[in-house]
Structure 1
C-alpha cells in the first residue's frame, strides 16, 4: 500500500477548463486558471519525493480521502480528475485508467485541509465493499 498526503484544499479540474467557440477545451498554463496545472505538479512532486520504484502495473485500487476546510466543497465527483492527472503525471502509473476500483470519501478538517491518496496494487490486495441497512 502506498499513501501520499497532498496539503491544502482539493482543486477541481472542472473549474479551470477554457473553451473556444468551436467547443475545444484546454487547460491554460498562465494566468488565474494556471492554478490547476500547479496542483497537478504539486501532486506529482509529492509522489516523486517518496516513490522511487518502477511504475505500478495493472489495476490499482484507489482510495481518495478529501478533507475540506468547510462545507463549501462543490460536486465531490469533480475532484478525482485533477488528482488522477497528478498521479499519472508523477510517472507512478502509465495511465490513470489503471486507477480502479475507485472510492471517494469526503470530510471536513478546518485546521488541515488535504487529500490523502491510497494506492493498493490489485494483484496484492482484495477490495471488498459491504453496504448494509441501519
Structure 2
C-alpha cells in the first residue's frame, strides 16, 4: 500500500508501505574465485532481486507522478516478525535499490539523509518508507540523556 499525502497546499510527502519481512542485500551475495561479489538472478539466492522488484512494483502501482530529481529526506521504519534481525545496516540498500528501480527517483544517491528505525510486529512485518523533498522540508534531531 502506498499513501501519497499532501500535508498542506504545495507540501508533499510520500509514504510507502511494503508488506512482509525486510530483506538484506548482504545475505544473498555470492563471490567468484577472484573474490568479486555478484547477485544471482536464479535459485535460492535470487530472493534479493525478487524483493527489490516487489518494492518497485508496489511503488509503480500507486505513484503516477514524474520522477523526483531532488534529494529526499528518507525515513525507513523496519518492522520484523521477531528478534532475528541480523545486521540492521544491510537493509537500506535493498530498499533504496527498489525505490530507484521503480523510477520514482533517478538515483538512490538522492535518498539522503536516511534515518533507520527497527521495530517488532509479529502480526504485520513490513517496511514503511517516508520521503520528504529537501526543498520543502528540513530535519532536526535531538540526542538527550534519559531522565532529563
Residue in 1 aligned with 2:34?
Answer: 22
SS at match of 2:136: coil
Structure-2-length-normalised TM-score? 0.89
Per-residue CA distance 1:15-48 (angstroms, 9 max, x = gap):
0011101112111110001110000000000011
Structure 1 Cα separation of the partners of residues 136 and 54 of structure 2: 28
Residue in 2 aligned with 1:123?
Answer: 135
How far did residue 85 of structure 1 move? 0.4
Residue in 1 aligned with 2:83?
Answer: 71
Structure 1 Cα separation of the partners of residues 35 and 111 of structure 2: 28
Give the alignment of 1:23-102 within 5 angstroms. Answer: 23-102=35-114
Which structure: greater strand fraction?
2
Matched, 1:11 2:23: yes
Structure 2 Cα separation of the partners of residues 50 and 120 of structure 1: 17
How far did residue 71 of structure 1 move? 0.5
Equivalent pairs counted in the alignment come to: 134
User: Can you give the 5+ residue segments of structure 1 that lack an aligned partner in the other structure?
Assistant: none
Residue in 1 aligned with 2:119?
Answer: 107
How far did residue 58 of structure 1 move? 1.6
SS at match of 1:103: strand
Structure 2 Cα separation of the partners of residues 40 and 92 of structure 1: 14
Rg bigger for which structure?
2
For the aligned residue pairs, the C-alpha RMSD in angstroms reads 0.6
Q: Which runs of 4+ in 1 moved over 6 A?
A: none
